[in-house]
Structure 1
Amino acid sequence: MQWVEGYQTANVICCKLPADLIQLASTAGVLACSSLSRCMQSLNHLAGERPYECDKIFAEAHLPGFDLPWPKLPVKMWRLMLRSAWFLGLSSHTESIFASNQRAKQAADMLIALAQEHGSVLLMGHGIMNVLIAHHLRKQGWAGPLHLVLKDFWHPTVYQKA
């Protein structure tokens, strides 16, 4: 799916960043992010040249893919249909929901270890993977929102050890 490849490699255009997010980034004990280019670019926009931990374990759970010349639908429609199919178990050309969930547990464990070592950690991550990681953080006794805001790319969510 050519539009997915384009999305993965596109440059991130930065906007005015929320003050609370800038504050979180400047006071975080350590910064972490996914190995996907748009995530690293976003963290650079937010934190400048500050070093960070980069790991593919935090990468987004990709959409299943098909190379169909039809039907012609808006990208948002394809994303909704393909993500729904993924949640139902379709994982053509990508990691299954089960494998993504296992990876999210490992990511949560890594974040907990980083937080214990550095006092706090800021993760620049991706929508669905952030939801899966948050689920595992809550299962391990961390308090934070039950539902993450996925429509705002710069919306911080805070989890704390209960």
Structure 2
Amino acid sequence: MVKNQQRVYRYIVSLVPNRADAEDLFQQTCLTLWEQWDRYDPALDFVPWACGIAHNHVRNFYRKRENSQLHLDPDVIVSLSTESMKMQSGSDERIEAIERCLQKMTPRNREVLESYYGGRSITEIAGRSSTPNAIYKQLDRIRAALHQCVTARLAGEGLQ
């Protein structure tokens, strides 16, 4: 549960605009997951099961709030939840593709990329062995190669 809690929480937030309400619904969902843990089949993916329980809590939440300005038809909620699940699934594949493509990079390119996205300035990365302009160009080439690699991987998995 812990490793998937952000995905379940993001799912709830995508359906409930008020952050406090979303947090309450997340707590209720966690409690229900704990209470119904013996019904979970480990052979199945956990996130869809957990999001199904969250979906039920969200639907009940909107039913109870008759005076709310936001009225969502249950069919709309189902549609939103289906799209959200598709997006989350695609995100996992993208992250895995990025990680694999990063592993294929040369150590120097990976170091430059990690330094830049780790908050170091271009001047710091350039140091004494290069110029800032050369680092900018190198970053452009690295990003282009990374984009090409990720796109190819996702296309191979039918996710693009």
Same fold (TM over 0.5): no
- Considering fraction of residues, name the structure with more strand: 1
Please give the TM-score of this superposition, normalised by the length of structure 1: 0.30
Larger of the two Rg values belongs to structure = 2
Relative CO higher for 1 or 2, CA cutoff 8 Å, sep ≥ 6?
Answer: 1
After TM superposition, the score normalised by the length of structure 2 is 0.30
